[in-house]
Amino acid sequence: MREWISVAVVGVMLCACSEDEAAWTPSSTAGGGQGGTTSSGSGGTGATGTGAQGGTGGAPAPGQTLAELCARPDTIFCDGFEGAYKTDWIEDGGDVRIVAGAGVPGEGSDVVEFATYQGQGSSKLIYTFDNEPLVYVRFDVQYDLAYDNSGGSHGPILGGSMNPPWGMMGTAGIKPNGDDYFVLNFEPRGTVGEGGELGFYAYFVNMTTTWGTTFDSSLEPPPTIVPGSWHCAEYGLRLNTPGNTTDGTANFWVDGVHHGDFGDFQWRTIDGLQINTFNLDSYNHFNDGAPPESSPNLVRYDNVVVSRSPVGCLAP
Ligand SMILES: [Ca+2]
């Protein structure tokens, strides 16, 4: 088993958009994972722990259709992107497309595709909702065979601010105070196609750098991203008790495998700051050069569900 890895992100951040997200894992309700303990990493605060060994982490068993997931009482929002994306989303510029015939086998036809290229480094859809203390987001994601994030990238962001959605945007390098914002990105860690895997990148009150903290799975095999393939991804964020507490958590699953609980997060200090924003996002720094519009970086998403409880993968 690999060690939990905590790495402070100190690279040049050129992003003018949000760099944060909040994610969580309920160690009390999501069985199958042991709560992590925080330790100091190389310049950052990291979750150290054993993580779940292939447990479900409280996620429901697979065998569901998107329609069934959308109908669950805990579901806040869902979108299968058939024909269009729902008008609940805010499109904040970017290059967002609906692609027919590219769906996960057995579940619809259309997906949403985000393109990034020279002059278009960020494409995303923003969804805001009423304040929640515990939120899970599941989606299917496919990185194009030619996707290149070797110059740095970011992905979907779950978070909150006192002024949603914009209060958690443009916050790169701004350490949260506890009464302003927090973010938890669930995104490629490393270069896709060269061992890059899904993991966390978070901004929270007790992080020890101004550039956020990353969290990777400790399981073998790691949640390595396979370009051109669909992955079932899910993550959750539980807020800490208001005040000077660190009982906030985060966790994630990839292709139905629970990759552990991460703990000791102080996401906030006041009760008024809660989870209220999700960005379905593709952001590329292009620090090593951007592709032309004619051969863009492409990421596809489908079957997004925002919920108050773990959701799980679609029926195989
Ligand atoms: Ca679809």
CATH number for 27: 2.60.120
Interval between CA 101 and ligand 1 midpoint (Å): 9
| CA 10 to centroid of ligand 1, rounded, Å | 37
Its domain, for residue 254, covers: 1-11+18-141+181-194+222-260+275-316
Domain for residue 266, yes or no? Answer: no
Q: How many CB atoms lie within 10 A of CB 19?
A: 25
Does a structural domain hold residue 78? yes
pLDDT, tens digit only, all 316 positions of the chain: 343 333 333 333 333 333 333 332 222 223 333 333 333 323 333 333 323 333 334 555 556 899 999 999 999 999 999 999 999 999 988 999 999 999 998 899 999 999 999 999 999 999 999 999 999 999 999 999 999 999 999 999 999 999 999 999 999 999 999 999 999 999 999 999 999 999 999 999 999 999 999 999 999 999 999 999 999 999 999 999 999 999 999 999 999 999 989 999 999 999 999 999 999 999 999 999 999 999 999 999 999 999 999 999 998 7
Whether residue 153 is contained in a domain is answered as no
Give CA torsion, residues 157, 92, 305, 38, to 10 deg. 10
Place of tokens 């690279």: 11
Residue 164 lies in a domain: no
For strands 248-254 and 95-99, give the pairing.
unpaired
Classify residue 45: in a domain, yes or no.
yes
Q: What's the total number of domains in the chain?
A: 1
Q: Report if residue 115 sits inside a domain.
A: yes
Domain assignment of residue 229, yes or no? yes
Q: Which of 217, 215, 213, 214 is nearest to 225 (CA)?
A: 217
Total-model pTM = 0.82
Q: What is the whole-number distance in angstroms between the Cα of residue 303 and the centre of ligand 1? A: 6
Centroid of ligand 1 to alpha carbon of 148 (angstroms): 24
User: How far, in Å, from the CA of 215 to the mean position of ligand 1?
Assistant: 29
Distance CA 97, CA 74 (A): 29
- Helix ranges (H only) for the chain are 66-71
Cα of 160 vs centre of ligand 1, distance in Å, is: 27
Does a structural domain hold residue 256? yes
**Ligand 1 centre and the CA of 260: distance in Å?**
28
Separation of 142 CA from ligand 1 center, angstroms? Answer: 12
Distance from residue 139's CA to the centre of ligand 1 (Å): 10
Centre of ligand 1 to C-alpha 296, Å, is: 22
Supply the DSSP symbol for 42.
Answer: B
Q: 304 CA distance to ligand 1 centroid (A)?
A: 9
